[in-house]
Amino acid sequence: MNTCVAHRGWSGKAPENTIAAFHLAIDHPAIYAIELDVHLSKDGVPVVIHDHSVNRTTNGSGRVIDLTVEQLRELDAGSWFGEEFLGERIPLLEEVLEMIKGKKRVLIELKQMGSYYTGLEQKVVELIQKFSLQDEVLIISFDHESLRKIKSLDTDVQTGLIYLGMPTLLLEQAAYTGANHLSFHHSFLTKGIVEKLISNNIEIGAWTIDEMESLERIKALSSNIHITTNHPEIMMYQFEK
């Protein structure tokens, strides 16, 4: 059966990448995993937010990399979504991992761009090791070298490449980075890609599916695809049958 991955937490019901969104996802038994995004603060602390700036999802402005963790934590990351979420903060990766440990698988997207965040990979691996989460975490990124760095730091940490487009040389890219998971925008995923990857024991992810028509198309390709969605409720019916 296709598994459900809550994109930035249950972001259709709560502000993305917040404790509130993660709690909703943790509490539902039909959700297999939680996806989240990680940047580094100015003072080198891994924080959970999607964009490289705080403008869209907080009441502040500026780049994450230019703000200290104390400055980031002062921002309101919830009221843009709804008044009931006033006071939600940008979470630290450490507190989120501690909260989710033993409850769900976690997909951590590193928002690395070349050497934009110095030490990001090492800081994240250190937290994974601190909580002994090597078997519960999948590190994903568009950045090939970032994933190679993760593997050089801890070979037990699972990694996955993300794609937007119709890539070639998939098996070669997986081998080069050490990735055991490849994640595609759902519109580019084909039967041929799915069959090739399954036959080579590579996990497959499809993102971000929020419409029933797209969900049914991906499910028809294979029952082994991990489906990432902002609205896990669209997948719930299959668990209730």
Residues annotated as catalytic are: 7, 50
Integer Cα distance of 118 and 186 in angstroms: 31
Nearest to 201 by CA among 183, 218, 182: 182
Integer Cα distance of 46 and 163 in angstroms: 23
Read off the amino acid at residue 110.
Answer: L
Q: Which tokens go with 191?
A: 């039967």
Integer Cα distance of 112 and 40 in angstroms: 9
Q: Which tokens go with 18?
A: 């917040």
Integer Cα distance of 219 and 214 in angstroms: 9
- Coil, strand, or helix at residue 99? helix
Q: Which tokens go with 17?
A: 């990448």
- Coil, strand, or helix at residue 52? coil
Read off the amino acid at residue 141.
Answer: S
Residues contacting 161, CB < 8 A, separation 6+: 140, 141, 142, 144, 147, 173, 174, 177, 179, 181, 182, 183
